[in-house]
Amino acid sequence: MKQTHVRIAVGTLLAVFAALSYAGIPLLTPEQFAGLSMIGGLGTIELVTKALGNIENQLATFATKAENEAKLGQVSADTKAAIEGLGVQQHELATRLLAIEQKTTAQKDDQGNTIEGWGQQFTKAAEYKGLNFSGGRVNVGVEVKNTSVTSDVTVAPDRKPGVVGGAFRILRLEEILNAAPTSSNAVEYTRENVFTNAAAETTEGAVLPESSITFALDNVPVQAVGHFIKISRQLAADNAALAAYINTRLKYGVDLRVENQLYAGNGTAPNLSGLAKSGNYTAHGYSAAALTALGLSPTNRFDLIGKVLGDCWAADYPANAILLNPADWWTMRLAKDTQGRYLLGDPDKEAPPMLFGAPVVQCNAVTADTFQVGAYNMAATKYDREGVIVELSDSDGDNFQKMLVTVRAVRRLALAVERPASIRGGDLTPA
């Protein structure tokens, strides 16, 4: 293992110097380097190039020597020191050669004209040429153009296309509800109030039992959810990408508010009558003592949710979703057993959020430490009067005078909760 390590180290070092050699910058011996350093100034290209050319053969010798030593198990300290020292010399000579080449090569502008430095401009100026250096003090002003790339040249920034947006919540509540269109400003529907099922086996010729069912007529108005923003006419006309982003943001804002209303709307106009409004769902009815009496833990959220799910199924409402605040869901997702294992699976396993076979819908509108479960596809219907409509107008207020455009996004809908018994919920940690 030691021999392998040495070979890698030496091989890496030789590769570096070989790359420098191929670039036309060979190594010098200490004697050559010392002799060249005695020359005043930078020297000449011919002298430096000749000295660098002579080192190629010596570099090959050092490379062979180092490889042979590595095969024996160790490269000598003298060889390492020589290579390191020659590397320092090589770097200095490379810097010197570059300086010589830059000094002798005139810079050109975009039109191919030679760019003169400040000193050249000054000495060529007529004011300078007319100076009398016979004695005394002379002041002269010469206009010198700054040819630096950081002066009078404006460099445009590298502009990334598009707009870096803000947070966009994944909206899933509407997916679990029935949806239907409406062309009216209100939705009237008949709700089953009480159904008494008296169906029973009867003998031939006997009177059949009579069942009863009562209904209640309900009416929910179509409500509007919307907002607007004012932008300049120039922005709307000249920056299509930004204008499109604004339209998308406005539409998202409407849909976000709709999700909040679908769950938490209090039913007082212009609010929707949401799923969490009293009367639109059935309280699960479990206290801590009641759960304990059933052999369940009142602090174990899995126990409570599972029990309420079972109650929905027992009432012939097969639950199709569990609504949780994201914070509560992730508290449950990170729960572990006594051995530190995640109860809901390893973190590297990608799976949709589910509990007891029912999908978990994370919704920020759900108050923390509360929940709902239910057969939402049977419980409620969302009626869409108009989807999100984005409109622009320059006739709003003083828009015409100020060259502004009002961008408006509006959506109209209603929510009818038809079967409150199919939704159950309440405190996630009951007292």
Distance CA 126, CA 124 (A): 6
For residue 135, being part of any structural domain is answered with no
**Amino acid (one-letter) located at 344:** L
User: 87, 104, 121 — which closes off a domain?
Assistant: 104
Q: Does position 11 have pLDDT exceeding 60, yes or no?
A: no
The whole-number pLDDT of residue 135 equals 47
Query: Percent of the chain having pLDDT more than 70?
Result: 67
115 domain-assigned: no
pLDDT range class, residue 291, cuts 50, 70, 90 = very high
Mark whether 231 and 348 lie in a shared domain: yes
Instruction: Give the rounded distance of the alpha carbon of 70 from its chain centre.
Output: 51
Query: Model confidence over 367-398: pLDDT tens digits?
Result: 999 999 999 999 999 999 999 999 989 889 99
154 in a domain, yes or no? no
Q: Which residues pair with 358 in a beta bridge?
A: 355
User: Which is more confidently placed, 5 or 363?
Assistant: 363
How far apart CA 380 and CA 172 sit, in angstroms, is: 15
Domain boundary among 104, 122, 154: 104
Residues 110 and 105: their CA atoms lie apart, in Å, by 16
30 domain residue, yes or no:
yes
pLDDT in tens, 298-356: 999 999 999 999 999 999 999 999 999 999 999 999 999 999 999 998 888 777 899 99
CATH of the domain at 314: 3.30.2400.10
Distance CA 277, CA 325 (A): 17
> Does 403 lie in the same domain as 311?
yes
Contact 377, 341 (CB under 8 A): no
The total domain count for the chain is 2
Q: What is the distance between the alpha carbons of residues 179 and 156, in angstroms, rounded to a whole number?
A: 51
Global pTM reads 0.61
Question: Are 180 and 50 within one domain?
Answer: no
When pLDDT is averaged across residues 53-57 and rounded to a whole number, the result is 61
Identify the domain containing residue 98 by its residue range.
2-104
Q: Which helix (H) or strand (E) holds 57?
A: helix 45-71
Question: Residue 360 — φ and ψ, nearest 5°?
Answer: -95, 125
Query: Sign of the CA dihedral 400, 401, 405, 408?
Result: negative
